[in-house]
C-alpha cells in the first residue's frame, strides 16, 4: 500500500513545550495582530477554516498515522514505533514532511496535540466542539489537547461554553499575558486590560482547563520595568494559573517595536536589569501554586523555574548567583548562554574548556569593537532564535 499522498495544513509556530505534539491548524494567523512586540503573522490576514476543511485535515493525519503503523507491521514490529521504523520513513522519499512529523509524534508517545494558530477560541463554540469531538474520535491515543487564545476572546465566552469545549477535549489554553500593567498594555497595543486578563484566566479555570500564562520580562523597558514587574505579579496572583512561562523581550528590526526603539520612545534593558526585574516579579508572587518555567533560549537564566511556593527561594537564589558574579564573569556567562553553550552559572566552574574558549572570544570582540560592539554581538546571538 502506498502512503497517503494528501497533506494537511500546519501553522508557523507553537510553544516550545509543544515540540513533540501533533500540530493541526484550526484558524489561520491572528485576529488581533497589532502587538508591537510580536514578529509573527504580520502582513498576514486572519481567517477561520471551515469545520469540513479541518475535519479533512484530521482524517488525512489519521490516514498518515495508519500508514506508519502498517509500515511497522510490514517491518515485523507489530505496529509499534522504534528507531528502525523512524529511519525507514525519513529515508523514503514517498513519505511527506507531514508523515515524518506524525512519525516523530508516534515515536515520542506524548499523546499531546497542539491546535494552531493564535486564537482558536474565537471559533463558534459549536464548531470548535464538533472539531474536538472529531479529533478525539479519530485519534483515541491523544491524551492532551492545547491551544493558544487571547484573554479578550476568552472573556466573550461564557463559563458554560468553555465547559462544553473542555468536555469535548480541550485541556489547556496558552495565553499571552505579557504584562498586567494597563499603561504598558496600551502602549504595546495588546488590546486587553489587566482586569480582562484576570477574568479570562479565572473563567478558564472554572471551566476545568489548565491555564498557561506567558509573561514577557523586559517589556516595560527602562521606563516602566518596576511597574511591569509588580503589576504583572499582582494579576498572576489573582489568576493563580497552572503555569507561568517567561519569554524575555527581544526587538529585532522586523518587530514593530523596533521603530519605537530607534526613535528613542522605548529603551531596552540590559540583561542585568532584566534579571533585577524578574527578581522583583518573583518576589511579588504570593499565595499561588503555579509552576514557573523559563523554557526558552531567549531567557538568560533558565534555572528560574520551579513550583510555587516551595521553590521560590531557589529561584531567587539563581538570580542572586548571577548578580554576585563580577562584570567579566557575567559577560562570559551571557555569551555562553546566548551561544547555547551554558545553561547555568555553575557551568562557569564546571565547563572550564568551554569557559576558556568563550573568554577568548569575549576578549577578541571587546578588543575589536569595545563594549558597544559586544552588546551588538550578543544581540545577534540571541535574536537568531526569534
The sign one gets for the Cα dihedral 330, 331, 334, 339 is negative
Nearest to 134 by CA among 90, 169, 97, 94: 169
What's the pLDDT band for 297 if we cut at 50, 70, 90? confident
Rounded to the nearest 10 degrees, the angle between the axes of helix 97-108 and helix 51-74 is 70
- Segment 129-167, tens digit of pLDDT: 999 999 999 999 999 999 999 999 999 999 999 999 999
User: Do residues 10 and 73 lie in contact, with contact meaning Cβ atoms separated by under 8 Å?
Assistant: no
**What are the residues facing 24 on neighbouring strands?**
115
Task: Express each pLDDT in 238-280 by its tens digit.
Answer: 999 999 999 999 998 989 999 999 999 999 999 999 999 999 9
The domain spans of the chain are: 326-386
Calculate the average pLDDT of the chain.
Answer: 95
Half-sphere exposure of 91 (CA within 13 A, CB side): 6
Mean pLDDT of 22-26: 97
Q: Computed over its alpha carbons, how large is the radius of gyration of the chain?
A: 23
What pTM was estimated for this model as a whole? 0.94
> Residue 47, CB half-sphere, CA atoms under 13 Å: how many?
9
pLDDT tens digit string along 317-368? 999 999 999 999 999 999 999 999 999 999 999 999 999 999 999 999 999 9
Cβ distance 4 to 64 under 8 Å?
Answer: yes
Bridge partner list, 246:
215
Amino acid at each position: 500500500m502506498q502512503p497517503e499522498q494528501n497533506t494537511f495544513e500546519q501553522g508557523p509556530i507553537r510553544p516550545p513545550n509543544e515540540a513533540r505534539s501533533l500540530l493541526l491548524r484550526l484558524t489561520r494567523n491572528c485576529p488581533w495582530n497589532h502587538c508591537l512586540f510580536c514578529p509573527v503573522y504580520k502582513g498576514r490576514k486572519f481567517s477561520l477554516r471551515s469545520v469540513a476543511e479541518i475535519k479533512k485535515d484530521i482524517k488525512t493525519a489519521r490516514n498518515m498515522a495508519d500508514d506508519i503503523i502498517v509500515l511497522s507491521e510490514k517491518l515485523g514490529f507489530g505496529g509499534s514505533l522504534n528507531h528502525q521504523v523512524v529511519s525507514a520513513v525519513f529515508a523514503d522519499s514517498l513519505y511527506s514532511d507531514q508523515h515524518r512529523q506524525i512519525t516523530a509524534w508516534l515515536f515520542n508517545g506524548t499523546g499531546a496535540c497542539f491546535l494552531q494558530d493564535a486564537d482558536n477560541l474565537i471559533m463558534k463554540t459549536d464548531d470548535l466542539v464538533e472539531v474536538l469531538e472529531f479529533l478525539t474520535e479519530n485519534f483515541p491515543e491523544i491524551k492532551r489537547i492545547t491551544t493558544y487564545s487571547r484573554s479578550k476572546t476568552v472573556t466573550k465566552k461564557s463559563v458554560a461554553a468553555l465547559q462544553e469545549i473542555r468536555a469535548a477535549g480541550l485541556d489547556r489554553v496558552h495565553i499571552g499575558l505579557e504584562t498586567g500593567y494597563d499603561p504598558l498594555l496600551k502602549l504595546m497595543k495588546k488590546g486587553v486590560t489587566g482586569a480582562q486578563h484576570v477574568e479570562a484566566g479565572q473563567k478558564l479555570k472554572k471551566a476545568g482547563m489548565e491555564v498557561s500564562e506567558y509573561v514577557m520580562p523586559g517589556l516595560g523597558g527602562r521606563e516602566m520595568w518596576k511597574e511591569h514587574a509588580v503589576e504583572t505579579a499582582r494579576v498572576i496572583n489573582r489568576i493563580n494559573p497552572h503555569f507561568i512561562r517567561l519569554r524575555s523581550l527581544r526587538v529585532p528590526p522586523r518587530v514593530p517595536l523596533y521603530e519605537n526603539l530607534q526613535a528613542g520612545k522605548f529603551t531596552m534593558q540590559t540583561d542585568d536589569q532584566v534579571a533585577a526585574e524578574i527578581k522583583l516579579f518573583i518576589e511579588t508572587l504570593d499565595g499561588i501554586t503555579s509552576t514557573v518555567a523559563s523554557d526558552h533560549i531567549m531567557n538568560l537564566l533558565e534555572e528560574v523555574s520551579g513550583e510555587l511556593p516551595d521553590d521560590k527561594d531557589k529561584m531567587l537564589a539563581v538570580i542572586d548567583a548571577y548578580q554576585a558574579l563580577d562584570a567579566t564573569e557575567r559577560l562570559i556567562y551571557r555569551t555562553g548562554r546566548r551561544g547555547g553553550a551554558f545553561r547555568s552559572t555553575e557551568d562557569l566552574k564546571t565547563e572550564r574548556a568551554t569557559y576558556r574558549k568563550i573568554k577568548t572570544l569575549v576578549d577578541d570582540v571587546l578588543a575589536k569593537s569595545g563594549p558597544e560592539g559586544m552588546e551588538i554581538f550578543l544581540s545577534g546571538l540571541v535574536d537568531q532564535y526569534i
